[in-house]
C-alpha cells in the first residue's frame, strides 16, 4: 500500500517513527503534494488498516492518503545518483577532446 503524508511541521518525530516500523518498506521525504511518501507491506488487509491507523495517530501527521499498488510495472534500485558537483551533461555535439 502506498501512503502519502502531510505533516503539520517539518516534524522529525514522524520520520523517525517510520524508520523503526516493521511494516514500512520504503519512506522518503518529498516536495509537492506530500511531505512523506511510504510503502506499507503487511500480511493482510486488516494489518494494513491497523498500520494506516497507527500512522494517522502519530503527532505531527496532519493528513494521510493511501492507495493500493495493483501491479508493479517497474522498480529499479540498481542506478545510483550522480555525485554532487558532477556538472550538467553536455549534448553530444558539444563534447570536444
Domain coordinates in residue numbering, the chain: 2-67
Number of Cβ within a 10 Å radius of residue 34: 19
pLDDT band at 74 (very low <50, low <70, confident <90, very high): confident
Whether 96 shows a pLDDT value over 60: the answer reads: no
CATH architecture classification, 2-67: 2-Layer Sandwich (3.30)
Distances (CA, A) of 60 to 4, 51, 55, 56, 85: 14, 16, 10, 9, 34
Helices (H), 21-95: 45-56
Is there a contact between 41 and 71 (Cβ–Cβ < 8 Å)? no
pLDDT, tens digit, 9 for 90 and up, residues 7-55: 998 778 898 999 998 899 999 999 999 999 999 999 999 999 999 999 9
pLDDT at 97 exceeding the cut of 50: no
| Cα 29 to Cα 3, 6, 35, 89, distances in angstroms | 12, 10, 6, 26
Its pTM surpasses 0.85: no
Amino acid at each position: 500500500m502506498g501512503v502519502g503524508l502531510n505533516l503539520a511541521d517539518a516534524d522529525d518525530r514522524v520520520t523517525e517513527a517510520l524508520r523503526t516500523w516493521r511494516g514500512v518498506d520504503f519512506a522518503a521525504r518529498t516536495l509537492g503534494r506530500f511531505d512523506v511518501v511510504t510503502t506499507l507491506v503487511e500480511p493482510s488487509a486488516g494489518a494494513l488498516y491497523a498500520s494506516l491507523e497507527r500512522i494517522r495517530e502519530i503527532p505531527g501527521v496532519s493528513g494521510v492518503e493511501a492507495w493500493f499498488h495493483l501491479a508493479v510495472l517497474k522498480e529499479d534500485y540498481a542506478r545510483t545518483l550522480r555525485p554532487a558537483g558532477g556538472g550538467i551533461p553536455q549534448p553530444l555535439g558539444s563534447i570536444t577532446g
